[in-house]
Amino acid sequence: MITPSNVVRHELIGLHAKVVQARNTANLKLAGKIVNETYKTLVIDTRTGEKRLFKDQVVMQLELPDRKKVEVDGQLLVARPWDRLKKKLAKW
């Protein structure tokens, strides 16, 4: 089960995401469903099409399956999903 305390260690595909901070201001308030993930990027399906974001350049608000919302710094997500399990994270 995905909770705010373990979201960084879970699969993100299928979660709803909204960009709340970004280096590129064009990405601010971008929202949609995460449809793909690579080592350094996330692909979000928005109303206007798919957008690719660099993980290390955004802070996102993720909506968990139980409707809880949690903000995650994208720098914590820079890794393949199966490698994030092995990472030592101070906050998480």
Q: How many domains does the chain have?
A: 1
CATH number, domain with residue 37: 2.30.30.210
Residue 90 covered by a domain: no
pLDDT in tens, 12-36: 999 999 999 999 999 998 999 999 9
pTM for this predicted structure: 0.88
Q: Which helix (H) or strand (E) holds 83?
A: helix 81-84
Residue 21 covered by a domain: yes
Q: 91 pLDDT exceeds 80?
A: no
Q: How many other C-beta atoms are found inside a 10 Å radius of the C-beta of residue 68?
A: 12
C-alpha torsion sign, points 44, 48, 52, 53? negative
Are 13 and 73 in contact, with CB atoms under 8 Å apart?
Answer: no
Residue 38 covered by a domain: yes
Give the pair of three-digit tokens for residue 65: 């399956």
